[in-house]
């Protein structure tokens, strides 16, 4: 892979990978944060509505408790008080209480047998002894389930409390509160739930008891919510005996309309109600989608900027390298006068200037080498001529030496003949002759050695004249010794 490709593709690839990884990490973290925020808002909305409902129910309970110990309602059950007086006082208190508290729909006072003895409606004498609200109201303050009033047909919730006269249980106060006055208003508040947000109550039987966008008031207590989440919410708390207030972590599921929603549950244990807060998944995901689009747009812009910067950096780096490469090709062709000439102050510029300096030095070195070669050729020619002359001179000396050796060989032969003739000479000369022969042999050997030296001399072309002269001197000395 070329450097240009590496500098172009690798940084861009690394930048893309880093940006994609950063985008994914940011998307995951931001989506998680947004989803947690949405879930927190949903859970907070559910919890706040559940708390408001509990506060409202406590308010209703306090009203009933206060009225149950009030003189008009205790007197109506006190046989020691005049009947006309106590009846009048009780009726006035009922009227004033309903006028003062508009959410009160009905007030009834029952005796110990469960018979209505005073009421805001025309039901005096009605036997309610079998009603659960009376049975539980004998023991303590009791809140009944939402139901339709038999007289007004309004949706009401009945709250009962025992009435004591001088510490003796004497009857039960039952008050109906119109749930449309306050409870439905609490549930109608969809702040924090967006456009598609919905919040409603389901009783322990799974029936919806508050209106929704998809169910009108006529379907209340008629429409059963048979979804897995509602059933689980009710069953789980039934198993716990309805003893705990419990908030469920928001989950995604299909609600009773079949729409996919993000929902949270709050269980109101006192009433065995399940409060459901839901928001359409699409709306819940809108902030996430907007955040994702924004992040993708930002990272796309950053990616484009990174690619442009990478291309510019690659171009800024590669152009001097390409120029340097072309300069090396020119020098390889032998054009030592070519200059790369990159003036930048970075490492490539320094390399370019070093390369130009190297070229100048190479050019000067080539000139010096050429000059030295020419000088060497001249020296070789002169030396060759001189050696030729020495060779010719040595050749002449060799020929002269050969002539001398030839004469010497002839003289030696004559000497040997004379020695042979004189062997028979006088005995006194015998020893001398033997000595002379030994001497001749030695001299002959010396001559042969000298001959070899002469041959070496001829081969080396050095000191030939000196050796010949020495040889002559030795021959002469030999002749003198031999008396020739």
Distance CA 382, CA 387 (A): 9
Q: What percent of the chain has a predicted confidence (pLDDT) above 70?
A: 76
Among 57-61, 93-97, 334-338, the range scoring the smallest mean pLDDT is 334-338
In which region does residue 125 sit, left (phi positive, over 0), alpha (psi from -120 to 50) or beta (all else)? left
* pLDDT score recorded for residue 178: 93
Per-domain residue ranges for the chain? Answer: 336-484
Q: Tell which wins on pLDDT, 133 or 416.
A: 133
Question: For the residues 157-167, what does the mean pLDDT come to?
Answer: 94
- Strands (E) in 328-437, as ranges, are none
Is the model's pLDDT at 371 over the cut of 70? yes
- Strands (E) in 251-323, as ranges, are 251-254, 260-268, 273-280
Is the model's pLDDT at 124 over the cut of 80? yes
* pLDDT score recorded for residue 204: 83
Q: Tell which wins on pLDDT, 300 or 123.
A: 123
Is the model's pLDDT at 284 over the cut of 80? no
Choose from 154-163, 218-227, 293-302, 466-475 the range with maximum mean pLDDT: 154-163
Distance CA 182, CA 157 (A): 11
Is the model's pLDDT at 108 over the cut of 80? yes
Among 26-35, 282-291, 368-377, 467-476, the range scoring the smallest mean pLDDT is 26-35
Q: Write 244-248 long-range contacts (CB < 8 A, 24+).
A: 244/269, 245/50, 245/269, 247/43, 247/46, 247/47, 247/50
Question: For the residues 132-157, what does the mean pLDDT come to?
Answer: 90
Confidence of residue 107 (pLDDT cuts 50, 70, 90): very high
Whether the model pTM is above 0.85: no
* pLDDT score recorded for residue 323: 67
Distance CA 157, CA 144 (A): 6
Is the model's pLDDT at 236 over the cut of 80? no
Mean pLDDT, the chain, rounded, equals 78
Q: Tell which wins on pLDDT, 130 or 196.
A: 130
Distance CA 441, CA 412 (A): 11
Confidence of residue 395 (pLDDT cuts 50, 70, 90): confident
Choose from 4-18, 60-74, 197-211 the range with maximum mean pLDDT: 60-74
Using the Cα atoms of residue 65, residue 70, residue 74 and residue 76 in order, give the sign of their dihedral: negative
Question: For the residues 322-334, what does the mean pLDDT come to?
Answer: 68
* pLDDT score recorded for residue 342: 63
DSSP annotation of 215: S
Q: What percent of the chain has a predicted confidence (pLDDT) above 90?
A: 19
Question: For the residues 379-407, what does the mean pLDDT come to?
Answer: 78
Among 85-99, 117-131, 388-402, the range scoring the smallest mean pLDDT is 388-402
């Amino acid at each position: 892979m070329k450097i240009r490709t590496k500098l172009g593709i690798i940084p861009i690839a690394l930048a893309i990978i880093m940006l994609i990884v950063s985008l994914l990490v940011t998307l995951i973290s931001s989506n998680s944060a947004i989803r947690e925020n949405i879930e927190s808002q949903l859970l907070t909305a559910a919890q706040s509505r559940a708390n408001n409902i509990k506060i409202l129910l406590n308010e209703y309970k306090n009203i009933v408790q206060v009225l149950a110990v009030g003189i008009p309602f205790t007197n109506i059950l006190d046989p020691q008080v005049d009947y006309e007086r106590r009846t009048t006082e009780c009726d006035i208190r009922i009227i004033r209480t309903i006028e003062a508290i508009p959410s009160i729909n009905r007030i009834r006072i029952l005796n110990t047998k469960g018979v209505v003895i005073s009421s805001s409606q025309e039901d005096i004498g009605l036997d309610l002894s079998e009603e659960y609200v009376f049975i539980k109201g004998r023991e303590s303050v009791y809140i009944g389930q939402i139901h339709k009033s038999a007289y007004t047909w309004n949706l009401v919730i009945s709250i009962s409390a025992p009435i004591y006269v001088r510490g003796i249980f004497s009857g039960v106060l039952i008050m109906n509160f119109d749930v449309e006055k306050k409870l439905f208003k609490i549930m109608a508040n969809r702040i924090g739930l967006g456009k598609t947000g919905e919040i409603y109550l389901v009783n322990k039987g799974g029936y919806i008891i508050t209106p929704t966008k998809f169910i009108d008031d006529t379907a209340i207590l008629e429409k059963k919510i048979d979804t897995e989440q509602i059933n689980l919410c009710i069953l789980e708390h039934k198993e716990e005996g309805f003893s705990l207030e419990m908030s469920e972590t928001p989950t995604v599921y299909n609600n009773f309309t079949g729409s996919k929603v993000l929902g949270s549950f709050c269980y109101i244990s006192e009433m065995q109600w399940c409060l459901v807060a839901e928001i359409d998944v699409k709306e819940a995901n809108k902030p996430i989608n907007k955040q994702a689009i924004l992040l993708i747009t930002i990272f796309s812009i950053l990616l484009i900027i990174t690619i442009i910067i990478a291309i510019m950096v690659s171009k800024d780096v590669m152009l001097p390298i390409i120029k340097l490469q072309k300069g090396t090709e020119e020098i390889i062709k032998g054009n030592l006068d070519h200059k790369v000439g990159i003036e930048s102050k970075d490492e490539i510029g320094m390399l370019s200037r070093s390369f130009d300096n190297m070229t100048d030095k190479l050019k000067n070195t080539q000139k010096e080498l050429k000059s030295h070669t020419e000088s060497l050729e001249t020296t070789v020619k002169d030396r060759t001529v001189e050696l030729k002359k020495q060779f010719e001179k040595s050749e002449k000396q060799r020929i002269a030496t050969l002539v001398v050796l030839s004469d010497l060989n002839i003289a030696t032969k004559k000497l040997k003949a004379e020695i042979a003739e004189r062997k028979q000479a006088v005995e006194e000369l015998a020893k001398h002759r033997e000595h002379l022969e030994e001497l001749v042999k030695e001299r002959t050997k010396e001559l042969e050695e000298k001959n070899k030296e002469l041959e070496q001399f001829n081969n080396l072309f050095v000191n030939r004249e000196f050796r010949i002269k020495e040889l002559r001197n030795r021959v002469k000395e030999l002749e003198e010794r031999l008396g020739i």
